[in-house]
């Protein structure tokens, strides 16, 4: 099952800043394995949003930023927009229990 | 542009097998890994393994070893994932996704809903 914990939901008004957390452990994020973030719009395939903690693929707006602290990572959305309403999930790596690729539980962002 | 297009929804019975396809276009199929990931209500997102189409090498996590088989056909740029001995909790949305070596999943298929029900 998912081994990275995310809050189920976060909401904010347009223009606000929201922060999504992704909490792991010493065998994954805490061990220095990178964190990637994905956005899944309703009815669409997931899209890579942030990789290697804080890098943005071409075309991703700079209002999305990522960071890591210890065994946790965060995704910041600055200047929330209506089109940001989506599910966001984090992903990392874990060599314990043979899982290798692991995912977060997902956070639904609602724009009020 | 890079596209991964998956086969349509499947309804199958417990104990049966299911085979899902993922057709790639817009890039060199043999140069990237294809991963299979599923999402279930109970377990969330789970990684089922990868295949490298150029060599046919595969890697499966312990949980699915012996029950999942990934193959690829370079002549039609298509990857396949077959899951055997299906149970009701295999009911899930199955995705294929592309990655480079130690890279994130940079493109995903649209997902294939597999329903296991008697």
How large a percentage of chain B has pLDDT more than 90?
Answer: 92
Is B83's pLDDT higher than 70? Answer: yes
Is-contact A34 A49, C-beta < 8 A?
no
CA distance B19 to B36: 12
Chain A residues with CB under 8 Å of B103 CB are 51
Cα within 13 Å of Cα(A105), Cβ side: 13
Is B82 a residue whose pLDDT tops 80?
yes
Distances, alpha carbon B111 to alpha carbons A42, A94, B40, B46, B92, in Å: 13, 24, 12, 14, 10
Give the tens place of pLDDT for each residue, A26-77.
Answer: 999 999 999 999 999 988 999 999 999 999 999 999 999 999 999 999 999 9
Q: How far apart are CA B97 and CA B49, in angstroms?
A: 11
CA-CA distance, A46 to A43, in Å (whole number)?
9
Q: Show residues of chain B in contact with A97, CB under 8 Å.
A: 62
Residues in chain B with CB shorter than 8 Å from the CB of A89 are: 45
Q: Is B42 on the interface with A (CB under 8 A)?
A: yes
Q: What dihedral angle (degrees, nearest 10) is formed by the CA atoms of A89, A24, A64, B25?
A: -50
Compute the nearest-CA separation of A5 from chain B (Å). 11
Does residue A94 carry a pLDDT above 80? yes
- Per-residue pLDDT at B110: 96
């Amino acid at each position: 099952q998912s081994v990275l914990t995310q809050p189920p939901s976060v909401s904010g008004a347009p223009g606000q800043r929201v922060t999504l957390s992704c909490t792991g452990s010493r065998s994954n994020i805490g061990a220095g394995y990178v964190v990637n973030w994905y956005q899944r719009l309703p009815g669409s395939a997931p899209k890579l949003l942030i990789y290697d903690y804080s890098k943005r693929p071409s075309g991703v707006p700079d209002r999305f930023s990522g960071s890591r602290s210890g065994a946790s990572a965060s995704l910041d959305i600055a200047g929330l927009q209506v089109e940001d309403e989506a599910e966001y999930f984090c992903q990392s790596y874990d060599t314990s229990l043979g899982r290798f690729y692991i995912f977060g539980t997902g956070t639904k962002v609602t724009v009020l | 542009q890079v596209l991964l297009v998956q086969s349509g929804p499947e309804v199958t019975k417990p104990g049966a097998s299911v085979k899902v396809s993922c057709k790639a276009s817009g890039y060199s199929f043999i140069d990237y890994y294809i991963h299979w990931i599923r999402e279930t209500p109970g377990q969330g997102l789970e990684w089922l393994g990868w295949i490298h189409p150029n060599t046919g090498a595969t890697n499966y996590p312990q949980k699915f070893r012996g029950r999942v088989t990934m193959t690829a056909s370079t002549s039609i740029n298509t990857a396949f994932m077959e899951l055997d001995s299906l149970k009701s909790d295999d009911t899930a949305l199955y995705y294929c996704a592309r990655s480079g070596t130690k890279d994130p999943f940079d493109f995903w298929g649209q997902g294939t809903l597999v329903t296991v029900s008697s």
